[in-house]
Amino acid sequence: MSRQTNPAVALIGPRQVGKTTLALAIAERRPSVYLDLESDADRAKLSEPELYLEQHGDKLVIVDEVHRLPNLFQNLRGLIDRARRSGRRTGQFLLLGSASVDLLKQSGETLAGRIAYLKMHPIDGLEVADKDIIPLWVRGGFPDSFLAANDRLSQRWRQDFIRTYLERDIPQFGPRIPAETLRRFWTMLAHHQAGLLNAAEFARSLGVDGKTVATYLDLLVELLFVRRLEPWHSNAGKRLVKSPRVYVRDSGITHTLLGLATLEQVLGHPVAGASWEGFVIETLSAAAPYASHLSFYRTAAGAEIDLLITPPGARPSAIEIKRSLAPKVGKGFYLACEAIDPEKRLVVYPGSEIFPLRDGVEAMPLSAAGKLLRDLA
């Protein structure tokens, strides 16, 4: 996510994460016009963009699914500059859509100094009551999935979402990857949740070369469906692991790719611990101070930290993630902390109490860890 001062445009993505609700909430607060570019009628209004948009220069213009009309940015630049000369410098356009890399690049080049970006994450563990954290973990953070009337309907929504995204949405961004091939790769990543990336192994399973696997992974990372967690590299004196870890970012999508619909099914599957780890990482990422760097630490000798969060200009916080109600920290975590000397040493677990462990380590629930990171901002 990047931010610039005094933006005339805000570009928000990815799609399906409450952006329509956001647009409606904003529209209630000020005069606005809403255009959905999946509608033929609304696209027709922008056949001559400047002619139409100049009529609404006194309103906030909300354009949904903007990735369907990427050339619009060129027209917005002239409109923004004319409005600035007349004294209106901010809040002219709100653009909503899937934030593909090409779209972000084009908007940045065309609207440099005029645009701010906001990534809309799925609902995270700090946005629900503590009693709802486990259901959120099982169903994931997409609103229609989390708020479904029952597990069956939640699973059905996620199945439909995956199919629609693979068959309809991803081809809009340019890659012509067979939907079934990409689904197989996505499912393999779910089975490999929290594991070190082994591109050669994936390539053999898919019957493609390593460069093709890298292309598939880059696409899912760019579309914010997969997190590539890079290893910590600041300590040159240690033999550190160099491969990144990979996570399917939404836990509900992880579970659906593996055919898991209920808490009992998730808990009975080997992925449960890794899925919980990914869920915690996404929540703490959203809570961390702006522009924080996320990484993990692992040496060949076995010293390991699941997550390091390093705010700009500050020391990292070391976070161990456990799914047990009686979390125990291994020797590897303490050895890694000796090497890094982190600001905070935390163990996040699914319980409700905060209590100390040895050597300055504190065990705490996810909500408490998230609030602590927010206070660092």
In the prediction, which pLDDT does 88 show? 79
98 and 204 both lie in a single domain: no
Is 218 a member of any domain? yes
228 and 148 both lie in a single domain: yes
107 and 155 both lie in a single domain: no
Cα separation, 96 vs 206, in Å, equals 34
- Domain span at residue 37 reads 9-119
54 and 174 both lie in a single domain: no
Full-model pTM: 0.85
Give the residue from 119, 154, 187 where a domain finishes. 119
In the prediction, which pLDDT does 241 show? 86
Residue 36 has pLDDT above 70, yes or no: yes
Instruction: Summarize pLDDT for 46-83 with one digit per residue, the tens.
Output: 999 999 999 998 889 999 888 888 788 888 888 888 88
237 and 274 both lie in a single domain: yes
83 and 147 both lie in a single domain: no
Give the residue from 65, 88, 119 where a domain finishes. 119
Is 124 a member of any domain? no
Give the residue from 119, 139, 156 where a domain finishes. 119
How do strand 317-321 and strand 362-364 relate by DSSP bridges? unpaired
| DSSP alpha helix (H) spans, the chain | 19-29, 40-45, 49-54, 72-85, 101-110, 133-139, 143-146, 151-164, 170-172, 179-191, 199-206, 210-222, 251-257, 263-267, 272-287, 331-340, 366-375
204 and 78 both lie in a single domain: no
Residue 116's closest CA among 131, 128, 99, 130? Answer: 99
15 and 146 both lie in a single domain: no
196 and 247 both lie in a single domain: yes
In the prediction, which pLDDT does 95 show? 86
The secondary structure of 101-168 as a DSSP string is: HHHHHHHHHHSTTTEEEEE-PPP-TTSS-GGGHHHHHHH-S-HHHHT-SSHHHHHHHHHHHHHHIIII
Length reported for the chain: 377
Say which amino acid occupies 146: F
Task: Give yes or no for a contact between 323 and 349, defined as CB atoms under 8 angstroms apart.
Answer: yes
Residue of higher predicted confidence among 206 and 104: 206
Most confident of 62-71, 99-108, 155-164: 155-164
Total domains, the chain: 2
Pick from 82-86, 212-216, 301-305: least confident: 82-86
173 and 258 both lie in a single domain: yes
**Which region holds residue 174: left if phi is over 0, alpha if psi is between -120 and 50, else beta?**
left
Cα separation, 124 vs 278, in Å, equals 12
350 and 283 both lie in a single domain: yes
Supply the CATH number for residue 22's domain. Answer: 3.40.50.300
Is 85 a member of any domain? yes
Cα separation, 377 vs 375, in Å, equals 5
Say which amino acid occupies 309: I
